[in-house]
């Protein structure tokens, strides 16, 4: 049996298992394929065939701040769009330590047994100081990453609202075009607004822990109000009884909210990702939600509203990018920051000057 080399490691980084390489010719062929910079048309053709390398390259282009990459990425997304909008999009959030990665791995593996193709877009928090991210989701989902019907793409959250990577929306389109029929978006879950991820998924799942002291937080508005279901994770062993009590409390809290436009009554379920308990029940909840919302036309109504939101968000992102990437603005911004430090101007006057300068 051939030794596992750099090529296999590279393929594992792309989120798929790789057959063992048995010849130097195969290794050379893959190296050449990786090193070559394919055109947008070539990438689109490969993505539509389900090529994971092409999919990963296209996502990297969408995440790039390079204007040339952006132009190429836009061409790819435009070509892939007619082949998108075919998946079920599920957002999963919860505080750090709630077991999101373990749950997603168990959930993803279960879905592949139903002959579904699963793409996980996991967003890692970026450091506000170094701007770096660990991007360790693949190490936490070591079984799912080997699944041939799964693709895991960790991305840095950057400065985006709610810890959702700036280009996650485009990544969804690319994954759908590559044939993935279930898209799971894992958010950072560090207390930031989850509005952004809610605006790009069909079903929003909130993971909770029993005995963490936050059961009564369910009475408050916010993230609970957005959730279509609450899964109390780690409901096993000594924690099973507290989990059942927490389920009762959350059910009471959910009934305090007015009915959703979707006509769906949010549910509370117990699960143990470690014991693989409650995973299938969670999927059954999602299926029941999809059946209801498609029958009453809310599903398409929500997708249409999301597309409008994405349009406005994209315009805002582009305006912000164009502003800060302007050579003149870059130069004047340094000057105005220095003037503020010296007390020669105010932030508001400096901002007005920069905006006026950009519009001239």
CA 74 to chain centre: 19
State how far the Cα of 77 lies from the Cα of 203, in Å rounded to an integer. 23
The mean per-residue pLDDT over the stretch 128-150 comes to: 64
Does 269 have pLDDT greater than 90?
yes
Residues 6+ apart with CB under 8 A from 220: none
Cα angle 50-307-312, degrees, rounded to a multiple of 5: 120
The mean per-residue pLDDT over the stretch 328-336 comes to: 94
State how far the Cα of 310 lies from the Cα of 209, in Å rounded to an integer. 32
CA-nearest of 301, 48, 86 to 181 is: 86
CA 317 to chain centre: 18
State how far the Cα of 305 lies from the Cα of 205, in Å rounded to an integer. 20
Q: What is the pLDDT of residues 140-185, one digit of tens each?
A: 688 898 899 999 998 765 555 444 556 788 899 999 999 999 999 9
Q: How confident is the model at residue 2 (pLDDT cuts 50, 70, 90)?
A: very low
Q: In what helix (H) or strand (E) does residue 152 lie, and over which residues does it extend?
A: strand 150-156
The mean per-residue pLDDT over the stretch 24-43 comes to: 72
The pTM for the full model equals 0.80
Q: Where in the chain is the domain with CATH 3.40.50.300?
A: 84-296
| Structure confidence at residue 360 (pLDDT) | 75
Q: Tell me the β-bridge partners of 91.
A: 185, 204
Does 241 have pLDDT greater than 50?
yes
Q: What is the pLDDT of residues 215-229, one digit of tens each?
A: 445 444 577 888 999
Does 19 have pLDDT greater than 90?
no
CATH topology of domain 84-296: Rossmann fold (3.40.50)
């Amino acid at each position: 049996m051939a030794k596992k080399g750099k090529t296999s490691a590279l393929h594992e980084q792309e989120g798929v298992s790789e057959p063992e390489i048995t010849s130097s010719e195969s290794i050379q062929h893959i190296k050449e394929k990786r090193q070559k910079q394919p055109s947008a048309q070539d990438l689109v053709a490969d993505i539509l065939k389900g090529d994971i390398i092409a999919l990963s390259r296209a996502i990297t282009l969408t995440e790039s701040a390079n204007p040339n990459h952006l132009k190429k990425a836009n061409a790819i997304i435009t070509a892939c769009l007619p082949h998108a909008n075919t998946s079920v999009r599920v957002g999963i959030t919860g505080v750090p330590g709630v077991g999101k990665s373990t749950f997603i791995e168990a959930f993803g593996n279960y879905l592949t047994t139903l002959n579904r193709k699963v793409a996980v877009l996991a967003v890692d928090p970026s450091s506000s100081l170094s701007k770096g991210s660990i991007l360790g989701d693949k190490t936490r989902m070591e079984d799912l990453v080997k699944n041939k019907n799964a693709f895991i793409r960790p991305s840095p959250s950057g400065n985006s609202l709610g810890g959702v990577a700036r280009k996650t929306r485009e990544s969804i389109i690319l994954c759908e075009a590559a044939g993935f029929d279930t898209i799971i978006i894992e958010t950072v879950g560090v207390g930031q607004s989850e509005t952004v991820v809610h605006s790009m998924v069909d079903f929003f799942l909130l993971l909770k822990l029993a005995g963490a002291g936050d059961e009564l937080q369910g009475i408050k508005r916010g993230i609970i109000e957005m959730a279509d279901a609450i899964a109390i994770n780690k409901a096993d062993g000594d924690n099973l009884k507290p989990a059942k009590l927490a389920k009762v409390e959350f059910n009471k809290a959910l009934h305090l909210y007015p009915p959703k436009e979707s006509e769906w009554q949010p549910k509370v379920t117990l699960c143990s990702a470690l014991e693989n308990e409650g995973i299938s029940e969670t999927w059954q909840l999602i299926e029941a939600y999809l059946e209801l919302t498609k029958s009453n036309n809310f599903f398409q109504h929500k997708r249409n509203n999301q597309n409008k939101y994405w349009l406005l968000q994209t315009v805002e992102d582009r305006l912000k990018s164009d502003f800060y990437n302007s050579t003149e603005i870059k130069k004047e911004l340094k000057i105005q920051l220095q003037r503020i430090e010296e007390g020669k101007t105010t932030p508001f006057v400096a901002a007005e000057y920069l905006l006026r300068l950009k519009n001239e």
